[in-house]
């Protein structure tokens, strides 16, 4: 029997780096963003259903995220229709991972875990966190978006304080060493809990 740990956190909080630390501790990782990437890639399960509804979104046999963004900007109903196609496929990918993974702790890296109600399917949730000014500095340093785009994304996400309050574990990602120590502690606690079960 495996333990399902949801890993969440807002943009720029260090979730991907923290997820890799769980892998380093012998956990198996399922990444929601990577699952969508697989579904959108050439011959991915989302390509044909999206082509049927949005032919312009499929370019050279894969779903173009840029084309989807343009479609969503033009058509207020598009996002809901895309989600109706993609969410069940993501859920199936996650279920397959859950059935086939053989490690004791399964980590589910899901940025919008609370927002989508995904926390209900987890045995516990860990949230990565840093102060808001540090979050903004990290995202701006990437050079991939404007301040307005960052604020737009942050506005769509549940406030960090609320995510932390709803989580079983909070991992502060101020330094790599501090984050790693906390990850090791979380893994230790979960393994102890499983041994007592």
What are the tens digits of pLDDT across the range 9-47? Answer: 999 999 999 999 999 999 999 999 999 999 999 989 999
What are the tens digits of pLDDT across the range 130-187? Answer: 999 999 999 999 988 889 888 888 888 899 999 999 999 999 999 999 999 999 999 9
Structure tokens at 10: 């807002």
pLDDT for position 145: 87
Structural contact between residues 32 and 191, judged by C-beta atoms closer than 8 angstroms: no
Q: Which of 102, 117, 143 is the last residue of a domain?
A: 102
**Domain count of the fold of the chain:** 2
- The CATH number for 183's domain is 3.40.50.300
pLDDT for position 126: 98
| Separate counts of helices (H) and strands (E) for the chain | 9, 7
Residues 114 and 50 in one domain: no
Residues 152 and 74 in one domain: no
Residues 113 and 69 in one domain: no
Collapse the DSSP code of 83 into the 3-class scheme (helix H, G, I; strand E, B; otherwise coil) and give the result: helix
What are the tens digits of pLDDT across the range 95-140? Answer: 999 999 999 999 999 988 998 899 999 999 999 999 999 999 999 9
Residues 117 and 139 in one domain: yes
Structural contact between residues 130 and 14, judged by C-beta atoms closer than 8 angstroms: yes
- Domain encompassing residue 61: 35-102
Residues 6 and 82 in one domain: no
Residues 130 and 179 in one domain: yes
Residues 94 and 110 in one domain: no
User: What number of CA atoms fall less than 13 Å from residue 39's CA on the CB side?
Assistant: 23
Residues 137 and 192 in one domain: yes
The residue-averaged pLDDT of 58-73 equals 93
């Amino acid at each position: 029997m495996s333990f399902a740990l949801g890993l969440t956190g807002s943009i720029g909080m260090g979730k991907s780096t923290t997820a890799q630390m769980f892998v380093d501790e012998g956990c198996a990782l399922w990444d929601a963003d990577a699952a969508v990437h697989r579904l959108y890639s050439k011959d991915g399960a989302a390509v044909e259903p999206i082509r049927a509804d949005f032919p312009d979104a499929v370019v050279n046999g894969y779903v173009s995220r840029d084309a989807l963004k343009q479609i969503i900007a033009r058509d207020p109903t598009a996002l809901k229709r895309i989600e109706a196609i993609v969410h069940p496929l993501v859920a199936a990918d996650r279920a397959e991972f859950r059935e086939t993974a053989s490690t004791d702790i399964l980590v589910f890296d899901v940025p919008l875990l609370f927002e989508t109600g995904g926390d209900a399917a987890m045995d516990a949730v860990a949230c990565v966190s840093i102060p808001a000014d540090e979050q903004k500095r990290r995202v701006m340093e990437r050079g991939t978006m404007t301040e307005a785009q960052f604020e737009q994304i942050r506005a769509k996400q549940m406030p960090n304080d609320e995510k932390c309050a709803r989580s079983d574990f909070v991992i502060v990602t101020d330094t790599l060493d501090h984050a790693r120590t906390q990850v090791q502690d979380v893994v230790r606690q979960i393994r102890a809990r499983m041994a007592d079960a």
